Amino acid sequence: MSAAYPLDGAMCEGVATADYDPFFPDSDDLAADALALCSICPVRQACLAYAVDTGQVFGIWGGTTQRELRRLVAQAGGPRARRVPTDHVNAGKTHCKHGHPYDAANTYYTVDGERRCRACRRARLTRARGLASASGGER
């Protein structure tokens, strides 16, 4: 199955509103509502394949709870769509420009799919907080 968004024909189409979204539940009752809809959905398998392929770890997808979904995404090796293609110009880089390693614990991906260093991000946030407190909290 491909990672194409599987919404066409889904039972959940148009169900979620600003006040009611059972697919990102705050309670077991909402989760039960979502799972009941998923159980009769004709695109359930495609929805689950999409969620695993794109690394969705929040919400109910394809009739699975968040816990089950996170396990499936982890077993699949994480989001496939966000891995750096082997033919990409930076695919061979193992460290960021400041020398921190690109490993599982130190790497995150932006919404654009760019690989970033967590250690550098922490350093940027620490500097920004220091500047904010030095100027009295105003920006």
Q: Are residues 68 and 111 in the same domain?
A: no
State whether 26 and 93 are in the same domain: no
Residues 67 and 99 in one domain: no
Write out the residue range of the structural domain in which residue 124 sits.
83-134
Same domain, 38 and 11: yes
- pLDDT at site 17: 84
Centre a 10 Å sphere on the Cβ of residue 10 and count the other Cβ atoms it contains. 19
Do 19 and 58 have their domain in common? yes
Burial state string for 35-44 with b = 16 or more CB within 10 A and e = fewer than 16: bebbeebebb
pTM for the full predicted model: 0.54
In a domain, residue 116? The reply is yes
Q: What is the mean pLDDT of each run of 10 residues along the chain (139 residues)?
A: 64 85 86 92 90 86 92 76 61 86 82 80 86 66
Clarify whether residues 66 and 95 are in a common domain: no
Is 35 within the bounds of a domain? yes
Same domain, 75 and 93: no
In a domain, 117, yes or no: yes
Q: Do 78 and 98 sit in the same domain of this protein?
A: no
Do 4 and 71 belong together in one domain? yes
The answer to whether residue 114 sits within a structural domain is yes
How many structural domains is the chain composed of? 2
Residue 1 has a pLDDT of 42
Residues 88 and 68 in one domain: no
Residue 81 has a pLDDT of 46
- Looking at the structure, tell me whether residues 18 and 57 fall in a common domain: yes
Confidence at residue 61, expressed as pLDDT on a 0 to 100 scale: 93
Task: For residue 107, list its beta bridge partners.
Answer: 117
Residue 139 falls within a domain, yes or no? no
pLDDT reported for residue 136: 67
DSSP codes, the chain = ---S---TT-TTTTT--SS--TTS-SSHHHHHHHHHHHHT-TTHHHHHHHHHHHT--SS-BTTB-HHHHHHHHHHTTS-GGGSPPTTSTTTT--B-TTS-B-STTTEEE-TT--EEEHHHHHHHHHHHHHHHHHTTT--
Statement to judge: residues 54 and 116 lie in one domain: no
